[in-house]
């Protein structure tokens, strides 16, 4: 009798403890809608630029650090690299894939950083989008406006749903003024792979990144 009572009290106290711990733990924030995620991310980046004198003065290292910390965690970089390399990705060894991702990341970060260096009091707005709750991939279309630029810059994103991971979405392609980045690089990379193989593409990316670093 006493033993059964003891086990009931133990079970009740354990259940109560679990409920108490769950109540005290911070709840995971709900995933954002895709367009809300892009607007939040864009606003955070623009606010960081406005608040950092070194970035406003064109300090490339600071701009690269900002892109690396704010943008890249929200990108499915392996998917983006694989799509850009195209069929050659399947032929690449694990070490070659690692090198491709490293050099491609440097290329994209510097490209994006170069664009941010021109930012001056810009604002971002998202166009209306039609999506269904079950959609796994969406396109978010935005316009970037700045002082002295009467025409908005078109900047669109392709995103995949990642429930419970990050903000709930990850970018895997980017469209700047009508040109999708992955498709553009895929054409360039295919020529390199056909001519010199995967190692040739890696060498080309290394050289391009060195050249870009000298211009900075």
Is residue 7 in some structural domain?
no
d(CA 199, CA 142): 37
Please state the domain count of the chain: 1
Is residue 116 in some structural domain?
yes
- Residue reference for tokens 């895709």: 34
What does the pLDDT read at residue 11? Answer: 35
What does the pLDDT read at residue 24? Answer: 34
Is residue 10 in some structural domain?
no
Q: Look up residue 136 and give its DSSP letter.
A: S
Residue 37 belongs to domain with CATH number: 3.10.450.710
The answer to whether the predicted template modeling score (pTM) of the entire model surpasses 0.85 is no
Is residue 2 in some structural domain?
no
- The DSSP secondary structure of 85-135, one letter per residue, reads HTTHHHHS-HHHHHHHHHHHHHHHHHHHHHHHTT-SS-EEEEPP----TT-
- Backbone φ, ψ for residue 129 (5° rounding): -135, 150
Query: 107 lies in which domain range?
Result: 28-215
Q: Look up residue 69 and give its DSSP letter.
A: I
Is residue 11 in some structural domain?
no
Tens of each residue's pLDDT in the chain, 216 residues: 444 433 333 333 333 322 323 333 333 445 789 999 999 998 888 888 888 888 877 787 888 888 888 888 999 999 999 999 999 999 899 999 999 999 998 888 887 776 666 666 778 889 998 888 889 999 999 988 877 666 777 889 999 999 888 789 999 999 887 889 999 999 999 999 999 999 999 999 999 999 988 876
Contact (Cβ atoms closer than 8 angstroms) between residue 38 and residue 127? no
Is residue 19 in some structural domain?
no
Is residue 47 in some structural domain?
yes
d(CA 201, CA 189): 7
Is residue 160 in some structural domain?
yes
């Amino acid at each position: 009798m006493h033993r059964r009572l003891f086990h009931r009290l133990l079970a009740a106290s354990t259940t109560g403890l679990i409920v108490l711990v769950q109540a005290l733990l911070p709840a995971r924030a709900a995933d954002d809608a895709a367009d809300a995620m892009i607007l939040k991310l864009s606003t955070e980046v623009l606010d960081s630029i406005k608040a950092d004198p070194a970035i406003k003065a064109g300090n490339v290292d600071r701009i690269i650090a900002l892109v690396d910390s704010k943008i890249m965690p929200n990108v499915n970089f392996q998917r983006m690299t694989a799509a850009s390399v195209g069929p050659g990705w399947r032929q690449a060894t694990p070490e070659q894939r690692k090198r491709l991702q490293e050099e491609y990341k440097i290329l994209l970060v510097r490209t994006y950083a170069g664009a941010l260096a021109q930012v001056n009091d810009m604002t971002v707005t998202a166009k209306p989008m039609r999506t269904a709750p079950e959609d796994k991939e969406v396109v978010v279309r935005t316009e970037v406006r700045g002082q002295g630029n009467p025409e908005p810059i078109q900047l669109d994103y392709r995103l995949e749903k990642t429930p419970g991971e990050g903000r709930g979405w990850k970018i895997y392609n980017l469209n700047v003024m009508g040109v999708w980045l992955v498709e553009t690089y895929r054409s360039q990379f295919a020529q390199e792979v056909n001519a010199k193989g995967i190692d040739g593409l890696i060498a080309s990316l290394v050289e391009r990144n060195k050249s870009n670093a000298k211009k900075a």
